[in-house]
Amino acid sequence: MNGNRAAELLRERFGRGPELIVARAPGRVNLIGEHTDYNEGYVLPFAIDRYTEVAVRPRTDRVVRVYSAAVDETLSMELPLRNPKPQGRWSDYLVGILQGFSELRPFPHGFDAAIWGNVPLGAGLSSSASLEVAFAVALVQLYGLELDGLELVRLCQRAEAGFVGMPCGIMDQYTAYFGEAGHALFLDTRALEHRAVPLDLEGMALVVVDSSVRRALAGSGYALRRRECEEAARWLSRRFPGRGIRTLRDVDGAMLEMVRGEMPGTLWRRARHVVEENARVLATVDALEKGDSDEVGRLLTVSHASLRDLFEVSIPEIDFLVDWGLEHGAAGARLVGGGFGGVTLHLVAAELREKYVAEIKKAYWERFRIEAKAVEVRPGSGAKYERDLGHR
């Protein structure tokens, strides 16, 4: 770690004081495997080289003060928490984490904290999970808590799903904690086990193009899609009572073909996306291990078509960016994240990257009068922390 901008912010806002703990956690891009994690399926995310930093230091009283550079606001409260309720604001993520820790043990004292980050907010790069994991890692060190990595990841996921009200799977928090530089994580979300897969496609670059269309996932169609998947699994479990269907992870394409026209159409389309997307994750792992960038690109593109047509989470701006990319040299492109806005991922020849980015931004502006942002992303490391003596 270097830079420690959060530490500088904390000292600027709250003055000098005891030794700081600075934790950092990355955002993520999901290479492929969209809407499969909460169906206990397979995903293939990688941590990116953009991060959220949280600097904390102890107080002698029970007051908590947290400054966020992203919104230029300070959260103030006192421990212990007394029946907190979500407010629909950035602070909900922090309060959810604090509530989770308070169930493990009482807080002996409060703290001052500052947050800085360069993960775009609301863009589908998991800025929320990045914040949650960085904050949780900082608190573990501040209070000397005994919590292994998977327990911490689960606590963060519960905070977002249970307190914030976003019914997310565990992929984002898992990647923010366990990410490995230069690799994607082939994650089985049922077993919660992963193996690192080298993400090194020679001569190719991964470019994220941000549509600048934002969506609040907790209040969007994301929650509806999750309910539809659960309903589809229940319908199929009744239709195939001897198959032990618990989630769509337990369904295969042959079952879906047997009930085509019998199963409610919307549920059938949602299930088909999940079943085929799981298969695409496995195929992408194989293609990466062979260094086959053409096949990786093809799978990304097919994934987008499924998200658009079967899962119905794309929008015209996202479709334009994907279609333009495929017409102008991308080996593959797709929507990344929950959908209804956010970013697209483009696999392009490294030598064409600068020209490609300039032209897609120009075309997007001409079509929608919206400024797109683009950044090359590289697979980075998961969560880290360090102690910062600085200037007392």
10-residue stretch averages of pLDDT, the chain, 392 residues long: 81 90 95 96 95 96 96 94 88 94 91 93 81 97 93 94 84 95 96 95 94 68 92 98 96 97 98 98 97 97 98 96 98 92 94 96 97 91 85 46
DSSP label at residue 161: I
Which residue from 271, 296, 280 is spatially nearest to 204, judged by alpha carbons? Answer: 296
In the prediction, which pLDDT does 220 show? 64
Q: What's the rounded Cα separation, in Å, for the pair 215 and 137?
A: 27
In the prediction, which pLDDT does 218 show? 43
Catalytic residue among 92, 112, 172, 210: 172
Q: Is 323 a catalytic residue?
A: no
| Tally of CB atoms within 10 A around 89 | 12
Cβ 28 vs Cβ 45: under 8 Å:
yes
Structure tokens at 279: 């298969």
| Tally of CB atoms within 10 A around 82 | 7
| HSE-up (13 A, CA, CB side) for residue 182 | 3
In the prediction, which pLDDT does 316 show? 95
Q: What's the rounded Cα separation, in Å, for the pair 129 and 351?
A: 33
